[in-house]
């Protein structure tokens, strides 16, 4: 199996994002629009950090700030495959995006909805698409079940979700997997190469205050918005010693990995999504053993699906890639200041 992060061409890589915008999803959209390494073909929206209509509104508003009117946006699932939707507004604000009060977009979501949009974006791409779920995987699971033929034009799936160590939604489960564990299990088992950018690396990539404050005053509305979103993120997570020294890039880090895979270290292990009710529901159990266990010897448990699991990240490299990429937009006036602040 080839890793979903092994580049095979120097042409921009076609990508489709699945988002629940989302403070860090907004940063991810910014990077995907502005990266010369990526060809963003569509964005699908799903309930997660906020309800799906709010997610669509937020995503369109971010694309307006980026002056990216041609990126199609689809409205997807309004709840997980099983159970109710449970938002993360206590982290992402009442509007799901740090209460930024962005102007409402005049654009509408694509006719036909997110699943049809993803299907068309993948099948119509001349080169294989990398699918990048940054949210509960309800849309992606529905897509793979309804239209399994899309797998033939997928280079891989690079998802933000799961964790080797502890969780955030619960002690052991990461939010995107916890919100829809059945969907995550379907995605991991779909026969497409998967890279899991989980909490272990997600929590390591931050932008320090002295850098994001430079972005605040930028005349480019997207760059200024990135500064405000990073400040919101910093305010919310200050108490977490793992990430408390800056604003979290979060989902944007996973998209940076598609553009520059050598910033990530992965190991290939079986991963099982815990589906049983109870405290461990939604946990990603990553089997890093070297020696056959009694479970396999006695046939009491099946192996999970092989996944490239992120275990290390060049956090400064990702931060620098993100900043130089988003600052290289039409209003690139502050790029030198931002770069100097990065280098300190
Ligand atoms: C994930 O959950 C959401 O809060 C973020 O947008 C990210 O996708 C982190 O667990
Ligand atoms: Ca997200």
The number of residues making up the chain comes to 344
In the reported structure, the alpha carbon of residue 201 is separated from the centroid of ligand 2 by a whole-number distance in angstroms of 15
Q: What are phi and psi of 154, to 5 degrees?
A: -105, 125
DSSP 167-191: -SSSSS--HHHHH-HHHHHHHHTSS
Which of the listed CATH numbers 3.30.830.10, 3.90.1150.10, 3.40.50.720, 3.90.245.10 matches domain 13-343?
3.90.245.10
Please state, in angstroms and rounded to a whole number, the distance separating the CA atoms of residues 121 and 301: 38
Contacts of 257 (CB under 8 A, 6+ apart): 5, 158, 195, 197, 263, 264, 310, 313, 318
Q: Is the Cα dihedral 218, 222, 228, 234 positive or negative?
A: negative
Which residues on neighbouring strands pair with residue 195, listed in sequence order?
158, 308
Contacts of 153 (CB under 8 A, 6+ apart): 122, 123, 125, 128, 129
In the reported structure, the alpha carbon of residue 290 is separated from the centroid of ligand 1 by a whole-number distance in angstroms of 31
Question: What are the angstrom distances between the C-alpha of 210 and each of 189, 217, 225?
Answer: 43, 13, 16
| pLDDT at site 71 | 98
| pLDDT at site 74 | 98
**3 state SS of 282:** coil
Beta strands, E only, the chain = 13-19, 38-45, 73-75, 129-133, 154-160, 194-197, 206-207, 247-248, 264-273, 284-286, 305-313
Q: Which of 159, 250, 283 to mutate to test the pocket of ligand 1 (most atoms within 8 A of CB)?
A: 250
Q: Which of 21, 22, 164, 179 to mutate to test the pocket of ligand 1 (most atoms within 8 A of CB)?
A: 22
Which stretch of DSSP H or E encloses residue 139? helix 138-146
| pLDDT at site 1 | 34
Q: Two tokens at 119?
A: 């299907």
Residue closest by Cα to atom 2 of ligand 1: 175
Residue closest by Cα to atom 7 of ligand 1: 251
| pLDDT at site 340 | 47
Which residue ranges have their beta carbon within 6 Å of ligand 1?
Answer: 22, 24-25, 49, 88, 91, 134-135, 160, 168, 174-176, 250-251
Q: Two tokens at 244?
A: 């408390």
Quote the pTM value.
0.92
| pLDDT per residue rounded down to tens, the chain (344 residues) | 345 665 555 799 999 999 999 899 999 999 999 999 999 999 999 999 999 999 999 999 999 999 999 999 999 999 999 999 988 888 878 888 988 889 999 999 999 999 999 999 999 999 999 999 999 999 999 999 999 999 999 999 999 999 999 999 999 999 999 999 999 999 999 999 999 999 999 999 999 999 999 998 899 999 999 999 999 998 887 767 666 688 999 999 999 999 999 999 999 999 999 999 999 999 999 999 988 888 888 887 777 899 999 999 999 999 999 999 999 866 454 455 555 455 44
Q: Which of 49, 62, 161 to mutate to test the pocket of ligand 1 (most atoms within 8 A of CB)?
A: 49
Residue closest by Cα to atom 4 of ligand 1: 49
**3 state SS of 91:** helix
Beta strands, E only, 135-232 = 154-160, 194-197, 206-207
Q: What are phi and psi of 194, to 5 degrees?
A: -120, 135
Q: Is residue 103 a contact partner of residue 64, using CB atoms and an 8 Å limit?
A: yes
| pLDDT at site 79 | 98
All structural domains of the chain with their residue ranges = 13-343
Tell me whether strands 154-160 and 194-197 are parallel, antiparallel or unpaired. parallel
């Amino acid at each position: 199996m080839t890793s979903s992060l092994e580049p095979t061409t120097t042409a921009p890589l076609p990508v489709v994002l699945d988002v629940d915008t989302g403070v860090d999803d907004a940063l991810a959209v910014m990077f995907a629009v502005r990266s010369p390494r990526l060809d963003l073909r569509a964005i699908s929206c799903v309930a997660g950090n906020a309800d799906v209509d709010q997610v669509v509104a937020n995503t369109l508003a971010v694309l307006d700030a980026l002056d990216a009117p041609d990126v199609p946006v689809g409205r997807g699932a309004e709840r997980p495959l099983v159970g109710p939707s449970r938002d993360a507004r206590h982290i992402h604000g009442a509007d799901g995006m740090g209460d930024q009060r962005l102007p409402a977009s005049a654009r509408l979501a694509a006719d036909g909805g997110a699943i049809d949009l993803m299907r068309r974006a993948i099948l119509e791409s001349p080169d294989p698409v990398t699918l990048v779920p940054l949210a509960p995987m309800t849309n992606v699971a529905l897509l793979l079940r309804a239209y399994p033929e899309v797998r033939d034009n997928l280079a891989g799936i690079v998802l933000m979700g799961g964790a080797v160590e502890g969780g955030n939604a619960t002690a052991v489960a990461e939010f995107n997997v916890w919100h829809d564990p059945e969907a995550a299990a379907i995605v991991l088992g779909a026969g497409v190469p998967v890279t899991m950018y989980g909490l272990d690396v997600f929590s390591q990539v931050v932008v320090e205050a002295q850098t994001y404050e430079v972005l605040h005053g930028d005349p480019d509305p997207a760059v200024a918005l990135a500064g405000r979103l990073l400040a919101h993120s910093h305010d919310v997570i200050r108490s977490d010693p793992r990430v408390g020294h800056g604003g979290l890039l979060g989902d944007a880090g996973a998209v940076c990995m598609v553009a520059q895979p050598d910033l990530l270290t992965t190991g290939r292990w079986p991963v099982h999504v815990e589906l049983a009710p109870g405290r461990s529901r939604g946990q990603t159990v990553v089997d890093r053993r070297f020696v056959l266990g009694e479970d396999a010897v006695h046939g009491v448990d099946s192996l999970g699906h092989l996944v490239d699991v992120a275990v290390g990240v060049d956090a400064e490299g990702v931060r620098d890639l993100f900043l130089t990429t988003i600052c290289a937009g039409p209003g690139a006036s502050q790029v030198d200041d931002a770069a100097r602040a990065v280098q300190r």
